[in-house]
Amino acid sequence: MVTKIAVFASGSGSNFEAIAEAITRGELDAQIELVVTDKPGAFVVTRAQKFNIPVLEIAPKMFATKADYEAAVVEALREKDVKWVVLAGYMRLVSDTLLAAYHNRIVNIHPSLLPSFPGKDAIGQAMEHGVKVTGVTVHYVDAGMDTGKIIAQGAIGVVEGDRESTEQQIHELEHKLYTQTLKQLFEV
């Protein structure tokens, strides 16, 4: 049975595209019902259009409260019968309204070996600390920042003094690990 998902992204959407391509190739038995972005005009919109996937461009500042914003998002997800929420570069903390609607069915990918270097610029944090190994973590989302239960991790060696090469390796690992992990979650 095909799993209906929504992918949330705030920026370029390279992880979204990797997931969409894996679905197209038949590697992931899922259907992206909706792309949700909190940044209208983000490049993920262009990527979604390439796959003919509907997009909800919804700026939080249009709402009086975060709960109101999330309620509008949940309504859109329910209209599409979405079963899983996949965060892929979504730069907002998720709160009670969305967490309650999709309890244990929201996952995120983070560019570090959590619990090390949570939050923004994890790659920069890792390089600043001089670590030799970093990586990627797929985890369930809870109310904290990158604090949910870890599902899968993969490691790469840091290219000392070369953030661009390190980021490229991180992105390659993200695209592979996220698809593999989603496949395992959806097959249960």
CA distances from 78 to 5, 71, 83, 85 (A): 11, 10, 9, 11
What are the φ/ψ torsions at residue 40 (nearest 5 degrees)? Answer: -50, 135
> Residues near 121 by Cβ (< 8 Å), separated by ≥ 6?
none
HEC states along 105-123? Answer: CEEEEECCCCCCCCCCCHH
Of the listed 110, 139, 171, 175, which one is catalytic? 110
CA gap 165, 157 in Å, rounded: 10
Residue 110 a catalytic site member: yes
Can you say whether the dihedral through the CA atoms of 150, 178, 101, 13 is positive or negative? positive
Residues with a catalytic annotation lie at 110
